[in-house]
Structure 1
């Protein structure tokens, strides 16, 4: 038996969708989540691809996700689309609302999409990328259960609270910035623990609020923000957008996404802008600027290789560790 399994993107989507439906998720939700999972995997974001899918599967079995939830979509004013995930997943509501959101943004120049009462939102950049592929500029923010110490605190008060930004180029590629407010993503701590490896100094505190390089101690303590107070301030801004403006749980009030039977009930905030209504020839001008930055000044432009990575995965396939493939394939409803 080989240590890895290679799947085509469609086979990978089928694997994820089938596993999710076996543990009680409705097909529309399973299809949306499977698509987001495979997109993350194809983009090289393995930690929030199939590895994170096992969190969704366990949460469906344990009751932290309502697999049969039907998102409630409302539009109180033309430029705002609101989604109550009803204890389900944000990917489901976003997939339902995407066409309406894009139409509103292109007609009005700006549109906002919010989600409350959701499980963790997965790869945040996926939401922004979907809008960039429609020619829109997007800003996304999400929160989750408290993992990150705030400025001046040694206790976790925010989640990793990532912020994502995407902007389209004229050639179909797009800029995509997707980064946590923490010095590293929580999944990186968990991966280090699984490998029995130490983590770098400056990533986390232990339960006593002391700096630690022990990943197990870090998971019982608190993550640290990037850049100290500056990163913690970003986390606070994200908290206001993702929890405050959506009506979702503050990170301090969000149940654990890995234990218990209650949904974290967290939020997603997404702002979509139509650049063509703000500046003539934006995509062409931006493409020229990106070329100048990267070609002349050697600036790394994040996200430009995402489309190429996905194209490579279309031909080469998606490689999953055998143990992970077997784990996903084995999930069954109790």
Structure 2
């Protein structure tokens, strides 16, 4: 592993993203999103640069287009720009609209690169004393219970709730038992996957990241996780004008209609608690419930609490530890223009 000063790593990541072809402004957003994840020890961080083709710039990308806009809603057509840039824009729109009207619902579509750690986006909304719900659609990676072909994306969902003294309560979770970049990170570190999270191309359980990347991931928690994954699929890909799974070809990680059409969708909902009660009263009630949950046992942790500890520890240390292979890859990307 390599231990790197946070500022140095941030500069390297920014330069690497610029060298993939992104504009300075887009690269700044993407770096911010990835470093947010890295500081929280989340696998949606700079591991994305281990496979630069997953972050690759599209020279045909154009300006963002705002569709079906109303005072409370908008669809952001990403126009093949970075998924992070499109979702960041949708969040800014949701913030403006929710502050003005009390409620906003915004979608994005027509991007095909990762949006990164959803807690980044919900934190932005919840830090403004608004309730946030963000869902990320993604291409075929997860098999339904009883299936061996990938149908769903890893289909993450994230909630941001203002109230606790140490910052908003954030529940950020994939509906899959593992994620693409978690699997890529395991491969980069030459580690096995946990049991029960993936199957190979023939539908047989595997812990080999390479075999999983040729097969499919599983939903967490069996039928319940698969049900949640389906709902996220319907509220992102179906509702927000993304590509939907289907067709006759076999679908595995990296193959299928959504991969082929390169049109992934996301949903952002922001709402003001004062629609139902005074904001400060709501925050007090949230804090009271959270404190009561913590008192229920000595080892109880709230959603996002471990990530906050990681953040505080990493910011205090001023360094981040990453795999040597990933560090070398980022250095190469930062010093030599990528052909990806």
TM tier, smaller: 0.7 to 0.9
Contact 1:120–1:266 under 8 Å retained in 2: no
1:266 to 244, 264, 267: 264
User: CA offset at residue 102 of structure 1?
Assistant: 1.1
Aligned match of 2:131:
137
Between 171-180 and 298-307, the greater mean CA deviation after superposition? 298-307
1:100 to 73, 90, 93: 93
User: CA offset at residue 180 of structure 1?
Assistant: 1.4
1:277 to 275, 278, 289: 275
Whether 2:23 is the aligned partner of 1:21: answer: no
Structure 2 Cα separation of the partners of residues 181 and 104 of structure 1: 28
User: CA offset at residue 60 of structure 1?
Assistant: 5.4
Question: What is the TM-score with the length of structure 1 in the denominator?
Answer: 0.87
User: CA offset at residue 97 of structure 1?
Assistant: 4.5
Aligned match of 1:177:
171
Structure 2 Cα separation of the partners of residues 325 and 215 of structure 1: 20
1:58 to 39, 42, 53: 53
Unmatched runs of 5 consecutive residues or more in structure 1: none
Contact 1:144–1:160 under 8 Å retained in 2: yes
Q: Per the alignment, do residues 249 and 59 of structure 1 end up closer, same or farther by CA in structure 2, a change over 3 Å counting?
A: same
Contact 2:141–2:253 under 8 Å retained in 1: no
Aligned match of 2:203:
209
Once the two structures are superposed, what CA deviation does each residue of 1:12-33 show, in whole Å capped at 9, x if it has no partner?
3322222211221011111110
Aligned match of 1:77:
70
Once the two structures are superposed, what CA deviation does each residue of 1:194-253 show, in whole Å capped at 9, x if it has no partner?
444443332122222223333332222221111212111111101011101110122558
Whether 2:44 is the aligned partner of 1:48: answer: yes
Whether 2:5 is the aligned partner of 1:7: answer: yes
2:140 to 140, 146, 150: 146
Contact 1:164–1:178 under 8 Å retained in 2: yes
Contact 2:38–2:44 under 8 Å retained in 1: yes
2:160 counterpart SS class: strand
Question: What is the TM-score with the length of structure 2 in the denominator?
Answer: 0.85
Q: Per the alignment, do residues 31 and 224 of structure 1 end up closer, same or farther by CA in structure 2, a change over 3 Å counting?
A: same
Contact 2:135–2:232 under 8 Å retained in 1: yes
User: CA offset at residue 327 of structure 1?
Assistant: 1.5
User: CA offset at residue 137 of structure 1?
Assistant: 1.1
RMSD: 2.8
Structure 2 Cα separation of the partners of residues 323 and 186 of structure 1: 18
What does 1:238-317 correspond to in 2, within 5 Å?
A: 238-251=232-245, 264-280=262-278, 281-298=281-298, 299-317=300-318
Structure 2 Cα separation of the partners of residues 54 and 212 of structure 1: 22
User: CA offset at residue 283 of structure 1?
Assistant: 1.0
Contact 2:129–2:162 under 8 Å retained in 1: yes
What does 1:226-241 correspond to in 2, within 5 Å?
A: 226-241=220-235
User: CA offset at residue 49 of structure 1?
Assistant: 0.8
1:34 to 8, 14, 31: 31
Aligned match of 2:331:
329
Unmatched runs of 5 consecutive residues or more in structure 2: none
Contact 1:87–1:263 under 8 Å retained in 2: no
1:87 to 80, 92, 99: 80
Contact 1:246–1:268 under 8 Å retained in 2: yes
Structure 2 Cα separation of the partners of residues 214 and 59 of structure 1: 20
